[in-house]
């Protein structure tokens, strides 16, 4: 029986390799006559040089009957007539527990050019999100290890959060704190479109040796082709999905979704898509939900995802921010004014929200969190009057109470970068604030 099964597989196997030839190169795009391939398939372009290197490229479109390919690497050695070999399948990566502690590129290969550990399984980078009816509801909180988040913006296992901030307001530092202090089993960290200088700084300073011991880091720097930056996001999500399938609670931290969208825009414009909102192509707004919906809960485990969104000119209503905010289950807004005042983390509590907090916290916790928000909002509304001395004590009981509690609230919202605070400790500190 088994012998016949093997014979059938051998008979059905296509033993031919199919080739095409490079026809022309325009900007980022390589046009080739043949081979037969589908959108998303991986192809190899053979260089005519003596080294006979193979450059990986992906089919991203068609022009008449020609393939439009985009390379993962630079295209310096490609010439007219270079052979294009079809693989007949999309990019596959290797995933497994052996990846923990590794720093990888977008194709899942170690960045230090060492060999991958043994015992890894092949895993596709592009997958469909779980069936909505097979997703368990979010019922329990996960420890983030950042006091203002755990107490006032409680995150659930499998929740997807957007961290919205301009440049230099403390996104990377906050991600480092979450990856070190969170109660998740594994961290998968994707640095998409980062400056090359910041990669090692993040790994050594923000993440640290303790954080790296339970993390997989995927890096696609800003100088790499657009396809590598897009694939970096897909590879990180695929590795997270692998760990979720094994029953782990995973943290996916992606910095940043905006640079992923910019890379997708580059690809769209190169394939001839029309620019629409702020130059972004329609494929950007089609791709974002597909990427972001892959995380969350499943029958086996959960992926709690934190996506940073680089807010252009601190404008929270620009197209990418608006789209991402509509897809995710909550958003944390990092405020430049708070960062300038020396407050870290610079989370603007009043502008931030966790959409699942009410269903995963007890009534006492919710009551104290609402009380703090109300006091903070009252103080902010009357801030100008208080600062110039125009407010007289006794005019309003609510304002008097807000002024009384304000120094304690600000002290509570501050947390040192290497200060540890468990979920229970954060909630207890919130309750003690009003006792």
Rounded to whole angstroms, the Cα distance separating 300 from 245 reads 5
Rounded to whole angstroms, the Cα distance separating 99 from 164 reads 29
Which residues lie closer than 8 Å to 306 by C-beta, 6 or more apart?
161, 163, 175, 178, 251, 252, 253, 254
Which residue did the predictor score with more confidence, 81 or 290?
290
pLDDT band at 9 (very low <50, low <70, confident <90, very high): confident
- At 15 the pLDDT is 63
**What tokens does 229 get?**
């930056």
Cross-strand pairs, 63: 66
> Do the strands 160-165 and 302-310 form a parallel or antiparallel pair, or are they unpaired?
parallel
The answer to whether the pTM exceeds 0.75 is yes
pLDDT in tens, 78-127: 888 888 988 888 889 999 999 999 999 999 999 888 888 888 999 888 88
* Cα 334 from chain centre: 17
pLDDT in tens, 141-156: 999 999 999 999 999 9
- At 397 the pLDDT is 87
* Over residues 243-263, mean pLDDT: 93
Rounded to whole angstroms, the Cα distance separating 154 from 139 reads 12
Inter-CA distances, 228 with 104, 220, 260, Å:
12, 6, 10
pLDDT at 4 over 70: yes
pLDDT in tens, 383-420: 888 888 887 888 888 989 999 999 999 999 999 988 88
pLDDT in tens, 196-213: 888 888 898 888 888 899
Q: Average per-residue pLDDT in the chain?
A: 89
- At 168 the pLDDT is 80
């Amino acid at each position: 029986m088994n012998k016949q099964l093997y014979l059938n597989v051998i008979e059905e196997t296509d033993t031919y390799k199919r080739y095409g030839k490079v026809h022309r190169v325009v900007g980022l795009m390589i046009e080739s006559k043949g081979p037969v391939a589908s959108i998303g398939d991986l192809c190899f372009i053979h260089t005519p040089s003596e080294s006979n290197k193979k450059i990986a490229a992906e089919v991203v479109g068609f022009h008449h009957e020609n393939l439009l390919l985009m390379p993962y690497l630079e295209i310096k050695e490609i010439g007219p007539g270079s052979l294009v070999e079809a693989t007949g399948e999309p990019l596959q990566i290797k995933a497994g527990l052996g990846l923990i502690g590794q720093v990888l590129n977008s194709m899942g290969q170690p960045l230090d050019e060492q060999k991958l550990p043994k015992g890894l399984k092949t895993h596709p980078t592009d997958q469909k999100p779980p069936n909505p009816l097979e997703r368990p509801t979010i019922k329990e909180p996960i420890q983030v290890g950042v006091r203002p988040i755990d107490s006032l913006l409680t995150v659930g296992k499998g929740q997807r959060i957007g961290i919205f901030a301009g440049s230099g307001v403390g996104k990377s530092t906050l991600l480092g704190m979450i990856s070190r202090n969170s109660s998740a089993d594994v961290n998968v960290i994707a640095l998409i479109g980062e400056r090359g200088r910041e990669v090692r700084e993040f790994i050594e300073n923000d993440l640290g040796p303790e954080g790296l011991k339970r993390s997989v880091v995927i890096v696609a720097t800003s100088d790499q082709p657009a396809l590598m930056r897009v694939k970096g996001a897909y590879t990180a999500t695929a590795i997270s999905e692998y760990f979720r399938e094994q029953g782990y609670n995973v943290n996916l931290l992606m910095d940043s979704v905006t640079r992923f969208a910019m890379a997708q825009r580059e690809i769209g414009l190169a394939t001839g898509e029309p620019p629409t909102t702020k130059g972004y192509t329609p494929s950007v707004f089609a791709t974002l939900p597909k990427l972001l919906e892959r995380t969350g809960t499943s029958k086996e485990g959960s992926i709690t995802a934190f996506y940073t969104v680089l807010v252009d000119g601190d404008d929270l209503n620009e197209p990418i921010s608006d789209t991402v905010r509509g897809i995710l289950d909550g958003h944390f807004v990092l405020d430049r004014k708070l960062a300038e005042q020396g407050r870290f983390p610079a989370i603007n509590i009043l502008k931030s929200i966790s959409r699942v907090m009410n269903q995963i916290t007890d009534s006492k916790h919710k009551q104290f969190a609402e009380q703090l928000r109300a006091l903070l909002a009252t103080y902010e509304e009357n801030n100008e009057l208080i600062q110039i001395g125009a407010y007289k004590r006794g005019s309003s009981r609510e304002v008097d109470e807000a002024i009384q509690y304000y120094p304690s609230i600000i002290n509570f919202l501050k947390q040192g970068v290497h200060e540890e605070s468990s979920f229970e400790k954060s909630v207890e500190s919130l309750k003690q604030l009003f006792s």
